[in-house]
């Protein structure tokens, strides 16, 4: 018992945990260790037994009791863990052996050369030591420096460190280290003595995800680094980082240097909840996937144009959130005036009953609403032609909405389409002909063709710009029908025109560079989708 203490990090059969309690448990005999498992699924409770609470868990349901005499895995020092991973493990498996691929057997070639290369530790530039039970940095600094003379990237994910200072001691001994990952560790002490702070000056990239730390603890940790430009503090329970939340992000020593920050998998509900990040002058990349973002401004705020602005951000990832309103894109365009790349997939906004049909429409509306500096959406490049097509389609949806409503509702409708005037300047002023019977026509109609697309399995009708190229049209139709556009051919069905064989004439749209209106002048046409191989 003397060697065990609250806050101790232990490993049982490669499963990591933190000791939260040592003592008796009512109704049982002997003493117990109350532990919180790093993997909550291994837990049985949150620190209570028969109605009595013995300890608290940072993750609900992650606790259980184990006997103090249960054998634990031996901890490692840094060099011991390094040698176990890159020398001992390689030596154990270094004899070339057959590799089975189903019923075939292939002899492994050159494995001894790979093993020898790994064993030359001083040549390694990138070292991965996750789950190696590293707890201390006991070795002499010069020994570490000589052993890892060229190490630039170090991953210490999920180990047994209890104090941040142990990691810092290690960094001091690595003269070329620029990237450090300490994801999944569970530090009990974040303080660093002044004599060690200089060891972090070389670090440019810091990954400190899933530490189960409070914002105050994270701030204390990150504030020890003076030159980090790429910061990841994902996975936690951060809800807001506004100027009234202390400590403030903008007070970090690296505030003026930060170029990228990852806040994925937290509980952020709106972009305005990150208002303090506006004060990071060098911020270019903001990663916010897997949060709870559903608006630019929270419901409690009075929205005002220009209130929120991230002028330096050029890349934004808000995929896997709760965005469900198109006006989000309008507010976002104003808040991120220089945005060049956006990832917004996997939001309720794009959830439809017929994903193949409406996803393409959603994509076009998204492009139509975005600022013109955005050239990448969900990792796909937006070409000028695609943008023009998307903007025309978006205009058509606005015109249709206006045409079906009385004139006195126009201002209210256009308040939800803040890009309307800009689009009219680009594509020409639109004439709204109101016909509340739903049969309105407008100037845009001449720019769109209604296409009935038929395959052997289904038929759908969709409007396409007259200026769309046949190649682009094949891609759009391929996406709608879930087929590879390279495998299909498009045929124009000319009803009323009989060919020499007595059937309806079909014309192959063969030239992929031609625009659709090269082949047709009608407002409505019919296309057949055929397999090229037939």
Say what angle helices 470-481 and 384-403 make with each other, to 10 degrees: 70
Domains and CATH numbers, the chain: 9-66 (2.30.30.190), 159-382 (3.80.10.10), 445-534 (3.10.20.90)
Max Cα–Cα distance, the chain, nearest Å:
99
- Per the DSSP assignment, residues forming a β-bridge with 163 are 189
H/E/C letters for each residue in 512-529? CCCEHHHCCCCCEEEEEE
The total of other beta-carbon atoms located within 10 Å of residue 169's CB is 20
Express each pLDDT in 260-297 by its tens digit.
999 999 999 999 999 999 999 999 999 999 999 999 99
192: helix, coil or strand? coil
Express each pLDDT in 177-194 by its tens digit.
999 999 999 999 998 988
Check residue 34 and give its pLDDT: 96
Instruction: List the end-to-end C-alpha distance of the chain, in Å, as a whole number.
Output: 78
Check residue 302 and give its pLDDT: 58
Check residue 485 and give its pLDDT: 84
Smallest CA-to-CA distance from 280 within 354, 347, 222, 356 is with 222
Smallest CA-to-CA distance from 477 within 364, 354, 357, 351 is with 357
DSSP symbols for 200-250: GTT--EEE--S----HHHHHHHHTT-SS--EEE--SS------TTSSS-GG
pTM exceeds 0.85, yes or no: no
User: Of 498 and 170, which is predicted with more confidence?
Assistant: 170
Give Cβ neighbours of residue 510 (< 8 Å, ≥ 6 apart). 470
pLDDT level of residue 335 (50, 70, 90 thresholds): very high
How far apart CA 192 and CA 169 sit, in angstroms, is 10
Residue range 302-311: average pLDDT?
74
Smallest CA-to-CA distance from 82 within 11, 148, 143 is with 148
Is residue 481's pLDDT more than 80?
yes
DSSP symbols for 112-131: HHHHHHHH-GGG-SEEE-TT
How far apart CA 79 and CA 181 sit, in angstroms, is 17
Check residue 277 and give its pLDDT: 96
Task: Please name the residue ranges forming H helices in 42-158.
Answer: 78-83, 89-92, 111-119, 141-147
Express each pLDDT in 74-83 by its tens digit.
999 999 999 9
Here the tokens at position 320 are 């896997």
User: Of 390 and 102, which is predicted with more confidence?
Assistant: 390
Q: Which long-range contacts (CB under 8 A, 24 or more apart) does 508-515 make?
A: 509/470, 509/473, 510/470, 511/470, 512/469, 512/470, 512/471, 512/474, 513/469, 513/470, 513/471, 514/469, 514/470, 515/466, 515/467, 515/468, 515/469, 515/470
Check residue 92 and give its pLDDT: 55
Strands of 276-365 (E only): list them: 285-287, 315-317, 341-343
Beta pairing class for 341-343 and 376-377: parallel
Express each pLDDT in 500-526 by its tens digit.
555 677 888 877 777 887 778 788 899
* Total length of the chain: 534
Express each pLDDT in 21-73 by its tens digit.
999 999 899 999 999 999 999 999 999 999 999 999 999 999 999 999 999 99
């Amino acid at each position: 018992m003397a060697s065990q203490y609250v806050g101790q990090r232990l490993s049982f059969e490669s499963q990591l945990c933190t000791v939260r309690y040592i003592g008796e448990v009512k109704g049982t005999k002997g003493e117990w260790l109350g532990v919180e498992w790093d993997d909550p699924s291994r837990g049985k409770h949150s620190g209570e037994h028969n109605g009595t609470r013995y300890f608290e868990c940072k993750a609900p349901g992650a606790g259980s009791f184990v006997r103090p005499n249960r054998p634990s895995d031996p901890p490692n020092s840094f060099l011991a863990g390094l040698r176990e991973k890159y020398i001992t493990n390689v030596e154990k498996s270094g004899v070339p052996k057959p590799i089975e691929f189903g019923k075939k057997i292939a002899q492994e070639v050159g494995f001894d050369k790979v093993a020898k290369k790994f064993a030359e530790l001083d040549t390694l530039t990138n070292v991965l030591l996750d789950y190696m039970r590293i707890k201390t940095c006991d070795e002499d600094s010069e020994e570490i420096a000589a052993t890892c003379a060229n190490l630039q990237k170090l991953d210490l994910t999920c180990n047994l460190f209890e104090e941040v200072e142990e990691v810092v001691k290690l960094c001091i001994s690595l003269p070329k280290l620029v990237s450090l990952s300490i994801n999944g560790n569970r530090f009990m002490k974040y303080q660093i003595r002044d004599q060690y702070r200089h060891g972090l000056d070389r670090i440019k990239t810091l990954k400190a995800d899933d530490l189960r730390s409070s914002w105050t603890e994270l701030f204390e940790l990150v504030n020890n680094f003076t030159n980090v430009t790429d910061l990841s503090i994902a996975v936690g329970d951060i809800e807001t980082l506004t100027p009234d939340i202390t400590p403030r992000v903008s007070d970090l020593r690296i505030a003026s240097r930060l170029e990228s920050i990852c806040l994925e998998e937290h509980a952020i509900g709106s972009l305005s909840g990150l208002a303090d990040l506006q004060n990071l002058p060098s911020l270019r990349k903001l990663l916010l996937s897997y949060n709870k973002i559903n608006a630019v401004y929270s419901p409690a705020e009075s929205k005002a144009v220009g209130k929120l602005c991230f002028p330096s951000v050029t890349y934004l990832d808000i995929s896997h959130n709760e965005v469900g309103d198109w006006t989000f894109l309008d507010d976002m365009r104003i808040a991120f005036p220089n945005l060049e790349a956006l990832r917004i997939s996997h939001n309720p906004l794009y959830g439809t009953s017929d994903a193949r049909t409406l996803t393409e429409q959603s994509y076009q509306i998204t492009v139509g609403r975005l600022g013109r500096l955005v050239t990448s959406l969900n990792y796909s490049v937006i070409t000028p032609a695609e943008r023009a097509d998307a903007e025309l389609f978006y205009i058509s949806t606005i015109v249709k909405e206006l045409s079906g409503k009385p004139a006195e509702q126009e201002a209210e409708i256009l308040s939800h389409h803040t890009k309307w005037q800009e689009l009219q300047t680009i594509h020409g002023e639109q004439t709204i002909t109101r016909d509340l019977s739903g049969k309105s026509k407008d100037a845009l109609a001449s720019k769109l063709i209604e296409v009935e697309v038929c395959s052997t399995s289904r038929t759908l009708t969709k409007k396409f710009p007259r200026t769309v190229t046949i190649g682009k049209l094949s891609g759009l139709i391929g996406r709608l029908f879930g087929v590879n556009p390279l495998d299909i051919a498009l045929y124009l069905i000319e009803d009323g025109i009989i060919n020499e064989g007595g059937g309806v004439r079909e014309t192959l749209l063969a030239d992929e560079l031609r625009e659709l209106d090269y082949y047709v002048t009608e407002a409505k046409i019919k296309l057949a989708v055929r397999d090229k191989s037939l």
